Amino acid sequence: MSLLRQPMLWLILGAMALFAGLPGFGGDVALREGLFLTAIAIILASNLNLMIGYTGYVNFGNIVFFGLGGYFGVWLTTMHGWPLVPAAIVAAILVSTIALFFGLGILRLRGSYFTLATIGINEAVRALVSNIDAWGGSTGMYLSVSVYQPLGGPRQALWIVYFLVIGIMGASLFLSWFIRRSKFGLGLFAIREDEDAASVLGVHPALYKSVIYSVSGFLPAMAGALFFFKNGVIQPDQAFDLTMSTEAIVMLMLGGQGSVTGAAVGAFLYDQLRSTLLTSSMFSQFQLVIAGILLLLIVLFVPGGLIGWIGERWPRLRRVLE
Amino acid sequence: MFGVIASMVDGLLLGAVYGLAAIGLTLIWGVMNIINLTHGALIALGMFGVYFLTARVGGSPYVALLPVAVLGFVAGLAIYGLSVHRVIARPPLMSLLSTFAVNMVIIGAGTAFWSTSIYNLPFSVPGITWQGFTFTGAHMLAAAVAVVVAGALYLFMRHTRLGKAIRAVANNRQAAELMGIPSGRILAVAFALGVALAAVAGGLIATLFPFTVLSGSGYQLKSFVVTVLGGLGNPAGALVGGLLLGLIEGGVTPFIAVSWTPVIEFVLFVLILIAFPKGLFARGAAR
Amino acid sequence: MTALLEVTDLSIQFGGLRAVSEVDFSLAEGEILGLIGPNGAGKSTIFNLINGVLPPSSGRILFGGVDITGWAPYRVVRHGLARTHQIVRPLNDMSVLENCVVGGCFGRDNLTLAAARHKAAAVIEEVGLGEHRAVLARHLTIAHKKRLEIARALCANPRLLLLDEVLAGLNPTEVARMIEVLKAIRRQGVAILMIEHLMQAIMSLSDRVMVLNFGRKLAEGTPAAVVNDPAVIEAYLGTPDAAHKLAGEG
Ligand SMILES: Nc1ncnc2c1ncn2[C@@H]1O[C@H](COP(=O)(O)OP(=O)(O)O)[C@@H](O)[C@H]1O
Ligand SMILES: [Mg+2]
């Protein structure tokens, strides 16, 4: 049972190496920008999978973690002159703490009631942040070029942020994998199947749900801090965009909820599809329409997503792809 | 002081329209336990329906509501058949996603055809000015129409065979089927009715404010708030919830910046959802 | 001898219905107590009260000398009191083995994943689900789902097991097989409180029997004494079917 003999370990490390190496060696900036967005998508989808796929709670407002992380990160780096990495970590800790607090309230709700509450929380936070003058209100905050100086100027800073995001992407996948094989993960699966039965079997649902909700916010918050640092500006409507929330769900469905690779593969495919559609002269106008049709077809006919479908065809691969 | 009261009255007028929009959402929830995420898109389609019927064809926007309602009903049947029927018995995520997918298609197509620029209905209704405060004519008419439509729906649900069948299915689908009510057809009709109400409400909103293809999503969120205030699945509660929301909006506007109203609304939304998941007016225990 | 489970003055009110009313009983270490009574008497509700699914309106539940009244279900099972459900509740999209591993991991011994797998494998053999261990729980037959309920509960290594109609809906062969399983459990020293309609099983397994009617305790004693109790017979005459059963087999 050595860790080194687990295919998943090498899958994740391989993905990280490809993401870092492909643009890294050639210095291909366009490729880097494309993969940067894909990596962000993988981070969002695989952490959302902890809630939807593992625990069975549909968090429609998951983007609130990303947005709040961005705000805390930008605030600490620009207003308080913090270095990027500590700022991102503290942002993530703050967001996870807030999530724990939110979770204690809304995780008493089940099914669609919970989903509505997550939408409400995202909108409440968006509205609140739009009123915080210290954070620039509805116009947001702009970063001055000087914040990139400690990282060796803007050009080098973009590369550094990129590699950090790849690191978080890897961390997200490892987190999903470890939880999946842990006792904690088993408790989550039991809650997903039947929360009351799980409780009768000894799982503490309230505790488990609060912890996973909080954990599922940590890495997206870090990613948000890095994303908006690189972006140079953060605004409420961009940071708390429900469309991004729902796109993360679409990615999860596309790849297959509940598995480590499903979230990643779905995010990758969706992001490739989106950029292909956006750059095509014929379809750029109809990107949403095509994505919508795709989602409907998946929900109706392949609810297990790509990985679920593969697992049914070739049961042996199921173990490898987890 | 009079300004506050006047602002609250105007809030009530708008609240009636919010209520009408939310009735469509809550009706569908009550009958089939599905949150219809095409709601906002249909509100937007209702806006454009009224716009094109009045600006291009001519005539009063209030008359245009009738064909918009019919088109909304037909669209509702189509959406039900396409995306809802098959997922009704599956976990909530599936119906959320299938209706959201249709929403993406509608909004995507709408954006492609009409862009996201601002549209405005070219019409005006004289208002009433009293003590220096103007009650907009369009607001009063919209509220009146909303109340009439809600009343008609109430009568329909109480006194027609179809309405009673819908209520029976909402109460207990299995029992209704045992009594010989074709629940599949009833579900389709109820869904279409909910969608038609959204379209009509959208058409009414178009008579009040400028709009874009994307405006629907904001009113969808408002409908969520109203629905939760009034109790998910409770159409009468939705109208009261709408009035309440309008009253809150109107009541706070004179005192704080407009940008704070959504904060109040959504904080209230989450708190009520946690404390009273069955709504403020539910009889008996909340859970 | 101190009792393992001691229930005093247990009651619950559902709106106008007093489903369980001032029930007292106790159960010794290693004992099997049968709980019988017509449908709707409040038997399953007593289980729900004991393991914390429902909070009692009044009354006290001592388990191993500890007051567990009002504890959440997950705390109760960790303390060594496991149960099955009358209407089975398998974790559908998990395998038989995984279902049982959940029982072991979160039960009294708080096992690690590896230890729980070990334990689960053994228990699965014991209840005769060995060849189905990799099957998803949703694909089991009802008889096998009932066995899974028991296996899951046993993995928690309980001191007391509450069994809610585990024989209902099984054919005679399955019943005989299940009775063997229950006897094996008793030999391990686990106390059992079992709800059962099948008198043959109650008579052959129980040390004592308690009868419940309209939420109240009607009689209690050795199986033979209880079936001959006039009050019990009268209660069962209200439901001819059950009376027939009682007369035919008692
Ligand atoms: N959670 C509940 N809410 C309301 N009534 C209940 C609840 N649980 C059980 N009851 C009622 O309590 C009575 C006893 O039920 P139960 O304990 O299941 O009977 P049985 O002896 O057949 O197991 C029944 O009338 C049932 O309808
Ligand atoms: Mg029972």
Which protein residues touch ligand 1 with a CB less than 6 Å away?
C 14, 17, 19, 37, 39-45
Res A202 pLDDT > 50: yes
| CB atoms B221 and A121 under 8 Å | no
DSSP chain C: ---SEEEEEEEEEETTEEEEEEEEEEE-TT-EEEEE-STTSSHHHHHHHHTTSS--SEEEEEETTEE-TT--HHHHHHTTEEE--SS----TTSBHHHHHHHHHHTSTT---HHHHHHHHHHHHHHTT-GGGTTSBGGGS-HHHHHHHHHHHHHHT--SEEEEESTTTT--HHHHHHHHHHHHHHHHTT-EEEEE-S-HHHHHHH-SEEEEEETTEEEEEE-HHHHHT-HHHHHHHHTSHHHHHHHHHH-
Q: Residue A123: which of B33, B111, B266 has the nearest Cβ? A: B266
Q: Residue B109: which of A58, A250, A289 has the nearest Cβ? A: A289
Burial-class residue A221 by CB neighbours within 10 Å (0-12, 13-18, 19+): buried
| Within-domain flag for A258 | no
| CB atoms C72 and A182 under 8 Å | no
Question: Under 8 Å CB-to-CB from B255, ≥6 apart: which residues?
Answer: none
Single-letter amino acid code for the residue at B175: A
| Within-domain flag for A289 | no
Res B134 pLDDT > 60: yes
> Tokens 């409507």 map to which residue?
A237
Q: For chain C, how big is the Rg over CA atoms in Å?
A: 18
Determine the 3-state secondary structure of B160 from DSSP: coil
Q: List the one residue out of B136, B140, B125, B120 whose CA is nearest residue B209.
A: B120
Single-letter amino acid code for the residue at A226: L
Determine the 3-state secondary structure of B133 from DSSP: strand
Q: What is the mean pLDDT of residues B106-116?
A: 91
| CB atoms A106 and B273 under 8 Å | yes
Q: What is the mean pLDDT of residues B138-147?
A: 86
Chains that touch B (3 or more CB pairs under 8 A): A
Q: Residue A292: which of B102, B112, B224 has the nearest Cβ? A: B102
Q: Residue B35: which of A112, A137, A286 has the nearest Cβ? A: A112
> Taking CB atoms and an 8 Å cut-off, how many pairs form between chains A and B?
126
| Within-domain flag for A255 | no
Res C156 pLDDT > 80: yes
Query: What is the distance in angstroms between the Cα of A184 and the nearest Cα belonging to chain C?
Result: 10
| CB atoms C74 and A202 under 8 Å | yes
| Chain A contact present for C62, CB below 8 A | no
Q: Provide the pLDDT for residue B287.
A: 33
Q: Sorting pLDDT into bands at 50, 70 and 90, what band is B286? A: very low
Rounded Cα distance between A107 and A49, Å, is 16
Q: Which structural domain, as residue segments, surrounds residue A104?
A: 3-240
Query: What is the distance in angstroms between the Cα of C94 and the nearest Cα belonging to chain A?
Result: 8
Q: Provide the pLDDT for residue A282.
A: 72
Q: Sorting pLDDT into bands at 50, 70 and 90, what band is C173? A: confident
| Within-domain flag for A84 | yes
Query: What is the distance in angstroms between the Cα of A59 and the nearest Cα belonging to chain B?
Result: 10
Question: Under 8 Å CB-to-CB from B250, ≥6 apart: which residues?
Answer: B7, B8, B9, B10, B11, B12, B14, B15
Measured in angstroms, how far is the CA atom of residue C242 from the centroid of ligand 2? 15
Contact C101, A186 (CB under 8 A): yes
Q: Sorting pLDDT into bands at 50, 70 and 90, what band is C174? A: confident
Q: Provide the pLDDT for residue C243.
A: 54
Rounded Cα distance between A269 and A294, Å, is 12
Search chain A and give the residue with CA nearest C104: A201
Average pLDDT over chain A reads: 91
Determine the 3-state secondary structure of B282 from DSSP: coil
Q: Provide the pLDDT for residue A141.
A: 93
Res B284 pLDDT > 70: no
Strands C32-36 and C191-195: parallel
Contact C76, C51 (CB under 8 A): yes
The residue contributing the CA closest to ligand 1 atom 2 is: C14
Interface test with B, best of A118, A285, A300 (most B CBs within 10 A): A300
Res A123 pLDDT > 90: yes
Res A206 pLDDT > 90: yes
Q: Provide the pLDDT for residue A286.
A: 83
Domains of chain C are 1-80+159-250 (3.40.50.300), 88-157 (no CATH)
Q: Provide the pLDDT for residue C246.
A: 58
The residue contributing the CA closest to ligand 1 atom 6 is: C14
DSSP A152-199: THHHHHHHHHHHHHHHHHHHHHHHHHHHHTSHHHHHHHHHHH-HHHHH
Contacts of A290 in chain B (CB under 8 A): 108
Q: Sorting pLDDT into bands at 50, 70 and 90, what band is A58? A: very high
> Taking CB atoms and an 8 Å cut-off, how many pairs form between chains A and C?
70
Rounded Cα distance between C108 and C187, Å, is 19
| CB atoms C92 and A193 under 8 Å | yes
Count structural domains, chain A. Answer: 1
Q: Provide the pLDDT for residue B86.
A: 92
| CB atoms A190 and C94 under 8 Å | yes
More confidently predicted of C2 and A144: A144
Percent of chain A scoring above 90 in pLDDT: 66
> Tokens 């929330």 map to which residue?
A245
| CB atoms C89 and A197 under 8 Å | yes
Q: Which of C13, C14, C84 most suits a substitution to test ligand 1, by most atoms within 8 Å of the C-beta? A: C14
Q: For chain B, how big is the Rg over CA atoms in Å?
A: 19
Rounded Cα distance between B259 and B227, Å, is 22
Single-letter amino acid code for the residue at B284: G
More confidently predicted of A80 and A280: A80
Q: Which of C21, C45, C51, C85 most suits a substitution to test ligand 1, by most atoms within 8 Å of the C-beta? A: C45
| Within-domain flag for A315 | no
Q: What is the mean pLDDT of residues A221-232?
A: 96
Interface test with A, best of C68, C106, C135, C163 (most A CBs within 10 A): C106
Q: Where are the alpha helices (DSSP H) in chain A?
A: 7-26, 29-49, 63-74, 84-106, 111-129, 153-180, 183-193, 195-200, 205-231, 236-239, 242-255, 260-279, 287-301, 305-313, 315-321
Burial-class residue A169 by CB neighbours within 10 Å (0-12, 13-18, 19+): buried
Question: Under 8 Å CB-to-CB from C111, ≥6 apart: which residues?
Answer: C104, C105, C119
Q: What is the mean pLDDT of residues B106-130?
A: 86
| Within-domain flag for A184 | yes
Query: What is the distance in angstroms between the Cα of B86 and the nearest Cα belonging to chain A?
Result: 7
Lookup: tokens for C15? 């709106």
Q: Residue C94: which of A182, A189, A205 has the nearest Cβ? A: A189
Res B133 pLDDT > 90: no
Handedness of CA C229, C232, C237, C239 (dihedral sign): negative
Rounded Cα distance between A130 and B261, Å, is 11
Q: Which atom of ligand 1 is nearest to the CA of C195?
A: 23
Q: Which of A82-96, A282-296, C45-59 has the lowest mean pLDDT?
A: A282-296
| Chain A contact present for C58, CB below 8 A | no
Q: How distant is the alpha carbon of residue B156 from its chain centre? A: 18
| Within-domain flag for A271 | no
| Within-domain flag for A223 | yes
Q: Which of A264-278, B36-50, B213-227, C228-242 has the lowest mean pLDDT?
A: C228-242
Q: Provide the pLDDT for residue C250.
A: 40
Res B199 pLDDT > 90: yes
Q: Which of A155-159, C42-46, C117-121, C150-154 has the lowest mean pLDDT?
A: A155-159
pTM for the structure as a whole: 0.91
Q: Sorting pLDDT into bands at 50, 70 and 90, what band is C72? A: very high
Res A113 pLDDT > 80: yes
Q: Sorting pLDDT into bands at 50, 70 and 90, what band is C81? A: very high
